[in-house]
Structure 1
Amino acid sequence: MLTLSLTTLLILTLLLGSGVWIAFALIGTAWLALTLFTGFAPGPILASDFWGASYGWDLTALPMFIWMGEILFRSGLADNMFRGLSPWLRRIPGRLLHTNIIGSGMFAAVCGSSAATCATVGKMTLPELERRGYDSRMAIGTLASAATLGLLIPPSIMLIVYGVVTEQSISRLFIAGIGPGLMILTLFMGYLMLWALLKGNRAGLTGEAGPRLALGEKLRHSLSLLPILALIGGIIASIYGGLASPTEAASMGVVLSMAIARRNGHFDRTIFRDSLFAAVRTACMIAFIIAGASFLTSAMGFTQLPMQLARTIGEMGLSPGMLLLALTLLLLGMGCFLDGISLILLVTAIIMPLVEAAGFDLIWFGIYLVVVVEMSQITPPVGFNLFVIQGLTGKDIMTITRATLPFFLLMLLAIVLLHRFPEVALYLPRAMN
């Protein structure tokens, strides 16, 4: 088993390090593993897995949610959120810095992309927060970290991918992501308020609060939030209430996102074309990686590596907590070099037998896995949100990384809480039964 493990890891590392497309790296690793360590012909297995990974109905929701996010990305939504939220935050410790956290959470709920959330909200909030004198380090940290919730709060592209490859209910995964997503938002906002109370207000780092508005003016500004709240509520309610499948809800989301963009005056033929092409490119890339990961999963099954690995670790007698700690350290290390989708697919291809043998609920494990992937979005050298922030601010990666460190530690705390209190993720899915 050691020879097989080391050879497979070496092949995958060399292919990824050489700059080969991730899908081709997965395919190449699987092909060589089958050729070197089994007597099975790789060609028929590759053809079967590519077909099986490409025609699933659940996978249809993926390009639709991506298209919805691309439309909203171009619709001026971030400007509406800032205008609607800022009047209500002037008296809360941390003041308008909370717009990064709440705004990212709201946009994440309809976008599903961490990088798109970071770029869209950041284009609006960072210049305004800088103009009002807010601490730039905290503004960067709150934005980069809260934007990762685009991977967890439904509709989540990561959860769709995980659900497809592990054959878990996407509806149940979506509902399971609500509780942990709100928990992480609360941790972020609580830390920001504590920071403001202990340091920010005294040091003059929380900037201007903005003009005091009458209640009627606040309500009028909040009207700009109604379309996006209706879209979020409609998608989640239709799935949770059993009125629509995730694919049907995604299709309606595309139509409603077009209506929102049209209402904001940011929808024309060019935006329609650009958003459609961007969605097709992203969806094809993800589908290709899924197909490659499916082939790798089959290859690992034929080589018996996952089962042998699970048996070996099982014989070590690790408790579920220690196993989770080991997996977290492994995934964080891998996340420094792989994007989120590739990490999820690689994990499900190799260690799922180990996870099942340890008795973890697969719905819960999917949420845990996405939270770890969120953390990898703000860890160098391949933290995509760090690159987005660097493009927006021009600051170096290490400065941005230091700004996100407290929120990275809060995500670690969230994993501990999820382990101690799994009902945070499982209560709503179980209530669906």
Structure 2
Amino acid sequence: MDIFIAAALIVLLLVVLGSGLWIGLSLLGVALVAMELFTHRPVGDSMALTVWGSTSSWTLTALPLFLWMGEILFRTKLSEDMFKGLAPWLNRLPGRLLHANVIGCTIFAAVSGSSAATCATIGKITLPELKRRGYPDDIAIGTLAGAGTLGLLIPPSIIMIVYGVAANVSIAKLFIAGVVPGILLAVLFMGYIVVWALLNKHKVPAADADMSFAQKVYASRHLIPVVSLIGLVLGSIYSGVATATEAAALGVGGSLILAAIERSLNWRVFKEGLVAACRVYCMIGLILAGAAFLTLAMGFIGLPRHLAEFIGGLNLSPFALIVLLMVFFIVLGCFLDGISMVVLTMAVLLPTVQKAGIDLIWFGIFIVLVVEMAQITPPVGFNLFVLQGLTKRDLTWIARTALPLFMVMVAAVMLVYFVPGLVVWLPSHM
């Protein structure tokens, strides 16, 4: 019965999304149908409480602030200067400035802890500049979709905190365990860009004129403003001076000051950046509200718990269990956000995982990796929604551009399974 309910809801969601209705409203509508038909809970009260709770979190305040910071960088000379500083060092690397997506997301992931914030902020900076320089839209958007997921893996990570509490393991060790896999995944993404560029040389714009080492160092002066801004945000978080939300506010203030110093800030730029950040955040906020209500509906129906119990009763080998759980979480990602997947399934799955002899720190990083994969798979791939809002492209087109990065992430999961030391060595020596 559960399988038929799940299939019916997936079909309904695809139909509603395909009709062109706003994504957030589509998620709310499917959740409303699920609650009305398959539960006895009062729908009105549940919806009101869930929507309010999902959009009124203080932690969530960091997201619009980071978006505003990205808008300021995008609308002033700072983003162009960042590319001027990076270009000489990336000239000889196949793919050239496409690597700015991965490098930018890797650095920003250490600031935000959010996949949506990473994808939206870096996308605002890199996509217009890459388009202006002649890079194809599909590879630029696809690599950003994949690299944006690094916001979940590279600490600090909200989902690691949720898993640490649910599994009763050290959050500090989880953070440390995410460092090597995060860097590994970034390197794999850059490796994919290199391979793509070698196979599609005619699609990569011509390199800038060669420079001597001294000239490259001199050109790097353009990176000083952005690197200083990142240092301010990161330093304030890791020194304990500011929370992530307060650091985001520092980032906005710092970006405004830098833009004023560079004389590229005026009232029109200030107003347009603020309005654009509000517009993108409202889009993301509505999606968050819809996803939260759909999560509640799925929880009341009991689908995640029943599926997790089914997997637990199969008595599989560790490798078969990991493969099945990877598929399970990707399918579950069709309905739920990452945090909800962890909250709703860990209590049932952890005994099975421990019985199979799987290290819980390693399993936490595995969970983050597969939740990242769910971020770029339709119909409810959160990074896909964010990029659709930024680019106005069709959701299925964006999903196709992200598919190669999804396969890279599958390879990363297999790599950390067969070489578990990539995850557990660093926390075991701290």
TM exceeds 0.5? yes
CA-based RMSD: 4.8
Partner of 2:44: 43
Contact kept, 8 Å, 1:294 with 1:349, in 2: the verdict is: no
Q: 1:100 matched to which residue of 2? A: 98
Candidates 211, 214, 234, aligned match of 1:213: 211
| Residue equivalent to 1:124 | 129
- Structure 1 residues 22-41: aligned runs within 5 Å: 22-41=23-42
Q: 1:279 to 1:108 in 2, by over 3 A?
A: farther
Report matched runs for 1:23-422 at 5 Å: 23-90=24-91, 92-94=92-94, 97-102=95-100, 104-106=102-104, 109-110=107-108, 112-114=117-119, 117-118=122-123, 120-125=125-130, 128=133, 141=139, 144-146=142-144, 148-153=146-151, 178-190=179-191, 210-319=208-317, 321-329=319-327, 344=338, 347=341, 356=350, 358-359=352-353, 364-365=365-366, 367-369=368-370, 371-373=372-374, 375-376=376-377, 407-421=405-419
In the alignment, the residues of structure 2 paired with residue 325 and residue 352 of structure 1 have an alpha-carbon distance, to the nearest angstrom, of 17
Give the 3 Å change call, closer, same or farther, for CA 121–245 of structure 1 in structure 2: same
Q: Structure 1 pair 121/290, CA: closer, same or farther in 2 (3 Å)?
A: closer
Q: Deviations over 1:142-186 (max 9, x none)?
A: 674156323324899x96589789988999988776544422332
In the alignment, the residues of structure 1 paired with residue 42 and residue 391 of structure 2 have an alpha-carbon distance, to the nearest angstrom, of 47
Mapped contact 1:364–1:422 kept (Cα < 8 A): no
Q: Percent identity?
A: 33
Post-superposition shift, 1:246? 1.1
CA distance in 1, matches of 2:6, 2:29: 15
Structure 1 residue 72 displacement after superposition: 1.8
Instruction: Confirm or deny: 8 A CA contact 2:85 2:221 kept in the other structure.
Output: yes
- 8 Å CA contact 1:23, 1:288 repeated in 2: yes
Shift of 1:108: 6.3
Distance 1:87 1:26 in 2: 45
Contact 2:146 2:406 in 1 (8 A): no
Change (3 A) 1:413 1:45: same
One-letter amino acid of the structure 1 residue matched with residue 148 of structure 2 = G
> How has the CA–CA distance of structure 1 residues 225 and 102 changed in structure 2, closer, same or farther, with 3 Å as cutoff?
same
* Residues 179 and 225 of structure 1, relative CA distance in 2, 3 Å threshold: farther
Q: Contact 2:71 / 2:276 at 8 angstroms: preserved in 1?
A: yes
1:205-238 CA distances to partner (integer Å, 9 max, x unpaired)?
9886544434443222111112222222332333
- Evaluate the alpha carbon distance shift between residue 199 and residue 329 of structure 1 in structure 2; reply closer, same or farther with a 3 A threshold: same
Deviations for 1:36-69, whole angstroms, at most 9, x for unmatched residues?
3333322332333233333322222222222222
How many equivalent pairs are there?
408
8 A contact 1:23–1:292 mirrored in 2: yes
Alignment check: 8 A CA contact 2:97 2:130 kept: yes
Distance 1:124 1:78 in 2: 8
Q: Between 73-82 and 163-172, report the one with greater CA deviation.
A: 163-172
Assess, with a 3 A threshold, how the Cα gap between structure 1 residues 259 and 51 changes in structure 2: closer, same or farther: same
Q: Give deviations 1:274-314, integer Å, cap 9, x for gaps.
A: 22222222223333333333333333333333222211121
Question: How far apart are the structure 2 equivalents of 1:430 and 1:349?
Answer: 26
- The 1-side partners of 2:306 and 2:102 are apart by 42
Q: Is the 8 A contact 2:86 2:220 kept in 1?
A: yes
Farther off after superposition, 17-26 or 383-392:
383-392
Gaps of 5+ in 1: 131-135
Give me the whole-angstrom Cα distance separating, in 1, the residues matched to 2:216 and 2:129: 19
Aligned pair in 2 of structure 1 residues 63, 372: CA closer, same or farther (>3 Å)?
Answer: same
Q: CA deviation at 1:331?
A: 6.3
Paired with 2:409 and 2:73, the residues of 1 have a C-alpha distance of 27
1:359-401, Cα deviation, whole Å (9 max, x unpaired): 4658525631453146549xx9x96799899999xxxx69x96
Which secondary structure does the structure 1 equivalent of 2:40 belong to? coil
- Equivalent position amino acid for 1:105 in 2: I
Write the letter of the residue equivalent to 1:278. Answer: A
- Call closer, same or farther: CA 1:262–1:279 in 2, change over 3 Å: same
Cα distance in 2 for residues equivalent to 1:83 and 1:125: 12
Instruction: Name the CA shift for 1:223/1:346 in 2 (closer, same or farther; >3 Å).
Output: same
Q: Is the 8 A contact 1:68 1:253 kept in 2?
A: yes
The alpha-carbon distance between structure 1 residues 33 and 320, as it changes in their structure 2 partners (threshold 3 A), is farther
Task: Give the residue type in structure 2 aligned to 1:49.
Answer: T
**Could you list the per-position Cα deviations for residues 85-143 of structure 1 after superposition, in whole angstroms to 9, with x for gaps in the alignment?**
233345x453xx33321454226644944366456434434554x6xxxxx77x96367
Q: Distance in 2 between matches of 1:151 and 1:245?
A: 21
Query: Is the deviation greater in 418-427 or in 405-414?
Result: 418-427
TM value normalised by structure 1: 0.72
8 Å CA contact 2:102–2:143 kept in 1: the answer is: no
Judge conservation of contact 2:79–2:125 (CA < 8 Å) in 1: yes
Closer, same or farther: CA 83–29 of 1 in aligned 2, 3 Å: closer
Give CA deviations for 1:335-367 in whole Å, capped at 9, x if unaligned.
8x89xxx75477568656565555465852563
Deviations 1:20-44 (A, max 9, x none): 4333333333334333333332233
Tell me how far 1:318 sits from its aligned partner.
Answer: 3.6
Give distance in 2, aligned partners of 1:272 and 1:75: 10
Q: CA deviation at 1:14?
A: 4.3
Structure 2 segments unaligned to the other structure (5+ residues): 354-359
